[in-house]
Structure formats: C-alpha cells, structure tokens
Amino acid sequence: MNRLKHATSPYLQQHADNPVDWFEWGEEAFEEARRRDVPLLISVGYSACHWCHVMAHESFEDVETARLMNERFVNVKVDREERPDVDAVYMSATQAMTQQGGWPMTVFATPEGHPFYCGTYFPKPQFQRLLVGVHTAWTEDRRQVVEQGSKVVEALTGGSTLPSGPVPTAQTLTVAVENLLRSFDPVRGGFGGAPKFPPSMVLEFLLRYQGDGAVAARDMAARTLEAMARGGIYDQLGGGFARYSVDAGWVVPHFEKMLYDNALLLRVYTHWWKSSGAPLARRVAPETADWLLREMRTAEGGFASALDADSEGEEGRFYVWTPAQLREVLDPEDAAWAIELFEVTGTFEHGTSVLQLLGDPDDADRFARVRSRLMSARDQRVRPGRDDKVVAAWNGLAVAALAETGAVFERPDLVEAARQAATLLERVHLDGDRLLRTSRDGHAGRNAGVLEDYADLAEGLLALYGVTGEVRWFALADRLLEVVLSRFADGRGGFFDTADDAERLFQRPQDPTDNATPSGQFAAAGALLSYAALTGSARHREAAASALGTVSVLAAGHARFAGWGLAVAQAALAGPAEVAIVGPVDDPRTRALHRAALLADVPGMVIAVGDAQPEGPATTSAGGGAGSGVDGGTGGVRVPLLEERGLVGGAPAAYVCRGFTCRLPVTTPADLLAELAAPGAG
C-alpha cells in the first residue's frame, strides 16, 4: 500500500515506491503495531542525507529485506526536518544506547513507542541479521524487550535537561572566548579537527564580543570566515556553502547544501563586512544571497530546504572538475590559469578536484569570464535533487539574512525576497496564532510548529521591520512571541521545544544547546530581547534573560554549543542599542539616517523607523500584554520606541536609546554614528 505518495515531504515521497510497507508517523502505525502485536521499526532521515540514500538503495529497495520488514514489523518512515520532535526523542535514545548518533537513524520500538534497540546506518547483510534477531527477541523474550524499552524511557524522562545558571555577565563571555581559543585552529580556522562544520552562531558571537580579548575574538572570526570562503566548502562558481568539510582544511565538503547553513552564514558575512570592510565579505555575502534566490527560491516565494550531495548516483559529481574537463571548456591559456587558480590537483576522488580559491585572482575581468564559462558548462550537468519543502524556522533565518544583506548592500531585490518569504509564511503557515512547520507548493503540511519555528520567524520579522519600517511584521512577531511565552515556557525560566498542546511523545524534547541552527531556547531569547528593546516590555526582557541562564553553564567548557546564546547575551549586555528614526519614510533625510543606522556595527541593535506616534495605552491584545506594541482596542499597530519622539526643527531625527532612556536627538548621519559610538550608547 503506497501510503507515502501524498506526503508533503519529498524525503517520504522518495520512499513511496519501495517494496517496504511504510507508514507515516501517526496513530495509524501505532494501532497497526498493537493489532498485529509486533514492534515498530522507525527509520528517520532527510532528503539530502547521503547515507540515507545508501541504506535506501541497499535495503529498502531490496525485495527480500522488505519482506522481512513487512512480515515482522510495522515500518514508519520519518522526515527529521518535518518532525524534529520525533527525531529529537529517538536520537536521545540512540545516543544513550550507542554513544553516537546520526542519520539514517534506525529504531526498534514497542507498540507504545518505547525504543529498545537503536542504531544508525546498517549495511544490508547486517541489517537483515538484525531484523531476524530483533524478531526472535520479541517472540521469545518479550518481557526483557519490554523492560528494556521501559528502562530507556524512564532514564530519558528523568530530568536530563541542562541546569540553568545565573544571567550571563561580561566575565561569562570572556570565559567563553578563552574556551573557544583553546579549540581554535590558528592555521586553518574553525574549531577542533576533522570534520569541520561552519560555526555560524559562534562566529556571530565573536564578531559581537566587546570585552577583554575582543581583538583575539575578531581574529578567530576573520580567519575562519576567510578560510571557509576560500576553501572547497564554498562553491567558487555558483556561491553557497556545503554542509561541512570532511577534512580540517575546508577543502573537501560533504556536498549537500542546506538552507539554514546559508541563511546563517549570509548574515554573518554581512556582519563581517559591516565590522571590517573586508573585500572578501563584500563578495561572498551577495554571492550567497544570489545563490539563495537562484537555486533555493520556490515558485511561491519561500525557500527550499536543501540540495542533495549526490547526482547521477555519485556524491559531488555536479561540483568537481578534472584538468581535462577545464580544457574542454576553456582555451589553453585560460585552462592553465584556472587549473592553478582553483587548485585542480586531484583533491577529491578519481582524480577530480573541488575548486578552491586560496588567493584573489590577478585579473578580475579574466576571472569573471572564466567563471562564467565554467558555470555555463556546469549547468549542462545533471543537477542534484532539491528538497523543496518550506520549513518555517529556516525561512525565518533567510528572511533576517536577506533583509539585512539587502539593506547593507543596497539590494532592494533581496529585501523584496525577504518580504515575499515572510508573506508566504504568514499566508500559508499561520493558522490563527499558531504556526505549521512546513509547506510545499503553497500547501501547508499537518505538523505543528516547534519552538524554533516561532523564534526564528519572529527574529526574521523583527529584522524585516527594522529594514522596511512595515509595522505588519512587528505585529506578527508580537503574536508569535506571545505563543512562545504562553505555550512553550517550562516554568523554570527555559522553554520546551514543543508546545504544551503538542502531540505527546514518550519525552517532551528540550535541548537548549545549539546544533546546526540556534537552539529554540537561544533563538527565543534573541527575539524576545529585540522585541523588548522595541517596546520596553519588562515581561519579554525578563523572559529573554531567564532563557540565557544555560549560557552560564556552557561558557567555560562547551562554548561552541552556545554560540547564539552568547551572541544574544552580548547584545543584552550592550543594551542593546535602540534607534528610533522619526520622519516620513519617503523623505531622503529619513532614509539617510536609516541607512546610517543599518550600516553601524552595533551588536544586537534594533531599529524602529516611521512617523512620530502619540503615546498609546498599554493595552492587552491577542499577541500582547502590558507594554505590547499591538493596540488591541483599535486594531492599530504602534511601536512604542517611536512614541513621543518627534521631529527636530521640522527635520527627521534619530534617537539613540538604551533601556528606553534616550540621548539627545540628532538630524545628520554623521551625528547619529557619533552617538552610536559614544560610551553607553550601545
């Protein structure tokens, strides 16, 4: 029975024609397992996962393996990107049982969903033996199997969440920088050895950091950003970053490209340019943005989740080159020049190379011509598959990055792309005040949004408001953050990853540490802090501070897993700076002040722009509360940072504030930058 045919997940659809009788995650599978009195076999993966494809080809497409699975188990296929909650609880079990994790994840569970045997990738012969062994244990030693599942569940629900510490101080952040220095690779950039993942959130913190050792922090960031941009992990022809490097030098990537990596890195490279003026950042940020628009944008205006690593059954085939292939495309002189420039020396398999750009070309026009010809030739190759589902959280990250990059580099097309993505999320993913996690082809999936969806989208909307001055985005962020506070809070200052009315799993997931993306808790802290800075809301500010308590626990020994929390903590310690730009948005003087603020290198700064607003009552709305920016009585939207701040001598003015206490207004961009640089201004 082809149950996956109409799934919204491209990953699930990849398995629709398997001989395995797959179920989607849901009550139907559990009922069938209870009816047949057999275990569940839960297989978790995602579309861009190389080893997921390998196990699918070896085992799930094999008739004999499928027969063993169908006769003895109820088989459930899960897209970890659609159901991060399911992935999280079973990954906890897998790591507890095996001391490692990864995908594909293979879990055997009781009909109640209690895991009793876990693993990751299994070659076909080993997997077939495992199927027989688990079936034998289930039929001949049921009691021990059930007890094992119960013990696993009991252990995982015993309060293993990281404890929360005090609110981070300046010393906390200094200790974190010292911890990062100990694992920093001064030769190749990044942290630790192979494999190396882009440390996006840590880099954001290092660029923001203002305490003792700030020069060393920015040096770590700059060396890493340059090494990644010059290595094979960055697509030197088309832009965009791969998931990670298999080596310590950023040379050979695992070729899948993820939306979340590129959204986070786009924002970091833009911030690097703001803080340093580095020419490399000036090139890489717009190139990455162009890649997002060219290869990841969907017809509805959102952004797809990922590109596969494989094409034509081979990892990296689309991206790698041999000297002979370069000579086929270029004339002899250009080919020789390109072979040397791009380090085409057999860095990958079968004599192929991943293109690197270890130094700037000596002829910019020639470089542009050569790269254009190579791109045209590469476009004739079979492209990697694309997972075109739209994930709310990752699109929220893209909205923030594109809005800021578009504003900084004067690219209105990027700002418009951010606006269209936000519009799609509002139109398709929003059900009342609740978010649905995914959509595809403009149709929402059925899975509820998790904490990161609300937090990352709120972050993106507040960034988009700061760039455009369109209060609809501020109002929508207000609604989302109200759900965060009312549905996800754990009562101890932190947040669960699922809402209080979400599907009940054997464990309510709660992981405050960063992984490939900011943790939901740290993302929530960042959005709450920005909202508090725009509104003066003590409720939101206090919630942000409480959510950062885990940073103090991680800073000394595990700072790499708290990068976004550290970045938010630095913004909180800096104020953050609050800039109110008051004046007609179509007035060139208002625009000049606004642009000056957008270009300023001030950690976590928030910007409100628009006409002066009279002071309004602290009303309570569907998304508000005392100090909310949404006027529930009239349905109008007000941004408190703009209230009671008027023009100066009839001219647009900028107010630099901290904690809603403002310095004297200024009317020129130069004076605004001076105010932002003044001690105590942010």
What average pLDDT does the structure give for the chain?
A: 93
Question: What is the identity of the amino acid at 494?
Answer: G
**CB neighbourhood size of 32 (10 A):** 17
Q: So what's the pLDDT on residue 162?
A: 76
Angle CA(421)–CA(424)–CA(429) in degrees, nearest 5? 120
User: How high is the pLDDT of residue 620?
Assistant: 33
Q: Is the pLDDT of residue 442 over 50?
A: yes
Q: What local confidence, expressed as pLDDT, does residue 616 receive?
A: 54
Model confidence band, residue 681 (pLDDT cutoffs 50, 70, 90): low
In this predicted structure, the answer to whether residue 335 has a pLDDT above a threshold of 90 is yes
Q: Residue 635's pLDDT is what?
A: 47
- Whether the Cβ atoms of residue 392 and residue 436 lie closer than 8 Å to each other: yes
- Residue 343's pLDDT band (boundaries 50, 70, 90)? very high
Which contiguous run of DSSP H or E holds residue 41? strand 40-45
Two tokens, residue 613: 């607003």
Element (H, E) at 377: helix 364-378
Q: Under 8 Å CB-to-CB from 62, ≥6 apart: which residues?
A: 19, 124
**What is residue 151's predicted lDDT score, i.e. its pLDDT?**
86
558 pLDDT band (50/70/90 cuts)? very high
The answer to whether the beta carbons of residues 398 and 410 sit under 8 Å apart is no
User: CA-to-CA distance for 116 and 146, rounded, in angstroms?
Assistant: 7
Angle at 439 between CA 503 and CA 396, to 5 degrees: 90
Q: Could you tell me the sign of the dihedral formed by the alpha carbons of 129, 134, 136, 137, in that order? A: positive
Residue 517 CB-half CA count within 13 A: 24
What's at 358, amino acid-wise?
A: L
In this structure, are residues 519 and 200 in contact, taking their beta carbons and an 8 Å threshold?
A: no
Beta strands 390-391; 386-387: pairing state: unpaired
Unique residue bearing structure tokens 């050569």:
370
Establish whether the linkage from the previous residue to 576 is cis, with ω within 30° of 0: yes
pLDDT, mean of residues 336-358 = 94
In this prediction, residue 615 carries a pLDDT of 62
165-207 pLDDT, tens digit per residue, is: 899 999 999 999 999 999 999 999 999 999 999 999 999 999 9
Question: Which tokens is 593 given?
Answer: 């002040």
- The span from the CA of 363 to the CA of 587, in Å, is 41
Give yes or no for a contact between 210 and 574, defined as CB atoms under 8 angstroms apart: yes
Whether the per-residue pLDDT at 44 is higher than 60: the answer is yes
Q: Which spans in 383-506 are helix H?
A: 392-408, 412-424, 451-468, 471-483
pLDDT at 163 over 90: no
* Residue pair 32/4 in contact by the 8 Å Cβ criterion: no
| pLDDT at residue number 472 | 97
pLDDT at 156: 80
Q: Is the pLDDT of residue 440 over 90?
A: yes
Q: What's the N-to-C CA distance of the chain in angstroms?
A: 61
Give the H/E segment covering residue 662: strand 661-662
Here the contacts of 674-680 (C-beta below 8 Å, separation 24 or greater) are 676/577, 676/579, 676/597, 676/600, 676/602, 676/605
Contacts within 8 Å (CB) and 24+ apart, 365-368: 366/334, 366/337, 367/341
- DSSP string covering 165-227: -SPP-HHHHHHHHHHHHHHB-TTT-SBSSSSB---HHHHHHHHH--STTHHHHHHHHHHHHHH
- Nearest Cα to 460, choosing from 441, 471, 473? 473
Rg (CA), the chain: 26
- Summarised one tens digit per residue, pLDDT across range 479-513 is 999 999 999 999 999 999 999 999 999 889 999 99
- Residue 344 is classified by DSSP as -
**154: confidence class by pLDDT, cuts 50, 70, 90:** confident
43 strand-pairing partners:
77, 106
The pTM score is 0.94
- Residue 282, pLDDT > 70, answer yes
The 3-class secondary structure across 561-601, one letter per residue, is HCHHHHHHHHHHHCCCCEEEEECCCCCHHHHHHHHHHHHCC
| Model confidence pLDDT, tens digit, residues 424-436 | 999 999 999 999 9
Residues 524, 449 contacting (CB under 8 angstroms): no
- Residue 259 CB partners (closer than 8 Å, separation 6+): 292, 296, 303, 304, 305, 306, 391, 394, 395, 397, 398
pLDDT confidence of residue 1: 60
For residues 401-415, give the mean pLDDT. 98
For residues 233-248, average pLDDT: 97
Residue 146 has pLDDT above 60, yes or no: yes
Residue type at position 524: A
Q: Quick check: 680 pLDDT over 90?
A: no
For 511-532, what is the mean pLDDT?
A: 97
Q: Which of 10-14, 233-237, 410-414 has the lowest mean pLDDT?
A: 10-14
